[in-house]
Amino acid sequence: MVQGTASSVGKSLLVAALGRIYARRGVRVAPFKAQNMALNAHVTPDGLEIGRAQALQARACRVVPEVAMNPILLKPEADARAQVVVLGRSRGSRPARAYHDDKTELREVVRATLADLRSRFELVIIEGAGSPAEINLRDRDLVNMFVAHEADAPVLLVGDIDRGGVFAHLVGTLALLDDADRARIRGFVINRFRGDVTLLEPGLRALEQRTGTPVFGVVPYVPRLRLGDEDSLSLDDRARSRRARADELAIAVLRLPRIANTDDFDALAWEEDVVLRFVDHPSELDGADVVILPGSKSTIADLAWLREHGFARALAARAERGELILGICGGCQMLGRTIDDPLGIEATAGTSAPGLGLLPLRTQFGAAKTTRRVEVRSRSNDPDAGETPFGSFADAHGYWIHAGRLDVDGPGLFEVRDAVDSSFRPEGSIGTTAASGSVLGTMVHGLFENDEPRRQFLEALARTRGRRRAPAAPIPTLEHELDRFADVVEEHLDLGRIDALL
């Protein structure tokens, strides 16, 4: 098991790297995280919802992602409320205290799925969440030491030295654990180190002497690792990124309070001539080649936030100038005319919120949640609808994760089909007036992970600048990046010690 001193210390990617290392040896290996709190979700081939990180870990292990790898997914909607997804299906929204009251039942779900994986795989690599030293939650733990004891698993404790204070974090974590939990910690891993490791060695020796726990390795910081981030903590760094130069494309993504599926934009950010920034003030939209309204876990509340912070006026002015706006999932719904919530899925039952009015569509939330993989292609049966920045492409793939039904007046942006309906049908929306013709919306996540629609979209942005986009170096494949990081971890961790634990 891999646990951490805090969130965002690199647990997820270390699990992925270890999974790839053992898969390359021919071991049948699978990831497991009992409970994940994240708004970056993935749809499995059978239409169920798990955390995006576990899907990546499954890919690293060279196995198909499944709900047993992440039986509980929490998708925050407010500071003390979240949608609870159990075994891939939503159980609705729950306050934090009520969720903790369900822990007896949920522990049985965790036990059953963990036992199922262990029966089918030679090795299960378990990821913890946050820190095992959250002493206020110890008796209700579902994901850290509860799982370690249930699996009788040795634990590696990971600390992130790049953020500072790593020795205090490691020692402090051990100090707050009881004897039984402390005995589970078999080794430390220092992650994201930059510099001369010989200067760190006196601290490593002192750490081992003080705690009696060995350091299994120091993993260096890997620049431009294209594997994405599990949660929104990394958005702070992107928000502070520089503005684009004249020869670069500028993409502004609105940093909504409950932004979801930020991994939709990873492939864009990895392009050499693209500067992608997450912005939270209307002035930061100036000069952007495209403004993207992303997905949201609380669409109606985030729509109100847009109005309160002046984004509604800024987006309307942008549409009047014919400058490109793209909405994805919740962002697409916000760009429409109305959002109705008759059942109280997000707000008080009967709520009807006016949208931004830039797309000819209406949204009505319903009890059923759509989670499906979809095949996407450009429009082929509507020659009068006009060209879009996505050009012509086929054989792209993405997924839907949304509540509600869209009623669209006018042409769709794409055509899609899925396992439920094998024929292609219109999807998304295009603004139909002079003031909104540059406004596009789609409910499909993951579109930019496909090379062809991403390339055509960026080339269209370059043409609006009156220039041709220079041929860009291909983005390294996910397989390449998984192997690249696994190579680094294999070089810098003492795998002999890990083998001995196994």
Helix (H, G, I), strand (E, B) or coil at 395: coil
* Active-site entry in 42, 169, 402, 445: 445
Q: Are 243 and 287 in contact (CB under 8 A)?
A: yes
Q: Which helix (H) or strand (E) holds 269?
A: helix 266-269
Helix (H, G, I), strand (E, B) or coil at 123: strand
* Active-site entry in 42, 61, 169, 329: 329
Separation CA 281–CA 310 (nearest Å): 8
Nearest to 476 by CA among 225, 134, 153: 225
Catalytic residue list contains 61: no
* Sequence-ordered strand ranges (E) for 357-485: 361-377, 396-408, 414-417, 425-427, 429-430, 439-442
Number of other CB atoms surrounding residue 344 within 10 Å: 12
End-to-end CA distance of the chain: 11
Nearest to 438 by CA among 318, 338, 357, 328: 318
Q: Record the tokens describing residue 497, joined without a space.
A: 């010690």
Q: Record the tokens describing residue 458, joined without a space.
A: 């960026």
Nearest to 172 by CA among 137, 134, 201, 139: 134
Separation CA 52–CA 17 (nearest Å): 15
Q: Record the tokens describing residue 413, joined without a space.
A: 């942006």
Phi-psi region of 122 (alpha: psi -120 to 50; beta: other; left: phi over 0): alpha
Catalytic residue list contains 445: yes
Separation CA 181–CA 178 (nearest Å): 5
Q: Known catalytic residues? A: 329, 445
